[in-house]
Homo-oligomer: A and B are copies of this chain.
Amino acid sequence: MKETAENLNRMAKFGISEGISEIILTTKNAPESEKTSNAAPFGIIWKNNKMFLHLFKGSKTYENLMRENYFAANMTDDAVIYAESTFYDLEDEAFETAASIEKNEEEQKTISIPVLKNADRFVLFKCAGRLEADSSVIIDIEPIDFIILNSGKEGFVFNRGFHSVVESCIHLTRYELTKDPVYIDEIRRHRRIVQKCGRKRDKEGFEILRRKLMELETAGHLQPLEPRNF
């Protein structure tokens, strides 16, 4: 997608700008899965007039997007949803289904995509092409529909605590992969900001992360976390 002023304005209204925009990506799981849908925090990359995802192999989002052509980018500033979807599978009750109609020259079809019930707004995307490398895949994407769920949540609350929860989630997924204690130092620094600046949900979100860290430290690493590219 070209980075014209018109496109930038339209996408910004739905939480997506040039550079990397943080959203929660929701996809349909395979029919045999225990849960119907998957949610994971993710960065949508918009650079040099292209919009794409960079996915590491082995994650559930990767698996789903190698099979499914559609996904949703959900916007929320709820730190609890960020932390839960980073470290755990959300329950089916957290999702609802968005439907969109896709038309081309020959036919018209209805697409159904899981979205987060508690998102403020979301964009439905189509995967337009995949480029595989050894350990990751680049997926070119195109927005196909824009939906506002919670129009009361317009405007921009800028809370350092919220941001620090999200950064801490990213650091903890890296820590799980590398065991490098530098990530724990980062999380400690962010904890101070969450405690000082955070809202109630930011502090609750950090608690989820703290519990996850304790689980990793005490019970061994039972479940691989979705690796984050940062």
Contact = CB atoms under 8 A, between A and B. Distances in A.
A188 interface: no
A202 B200 CA distance: 28
A43 B197 contact: yes
Q: State the number of copies, please.
A: 2
27 contacts: A15-B155, A15-B158, A16-B157, A17-B157, A17-B159, A18-B200, A19-B159, A19-B161, A19-B197, A20-B197, A22-B159, A22-B160, A43-B160, A43-B197, A75-B155, A75-B156, A76-B156, A77-B158, A120-B155, A154-B154, A154-B155, A156-B157, A160-B167, A160-B230, A186-B189, A193-B230, A197-B230
Given A12-B153, A21-B159, 20 more contacts: A12-B155, A13-B152, A13-B153, A15-B155, A15-B156, A17-B199, A18-B199, A19-B159, A19-B197, A20-B159, A20-B161, A20-B196, A21-B158, A23-B158, A153-B156, A155-B156, A156-B157, A160-B163, A160-B166, A197-B230
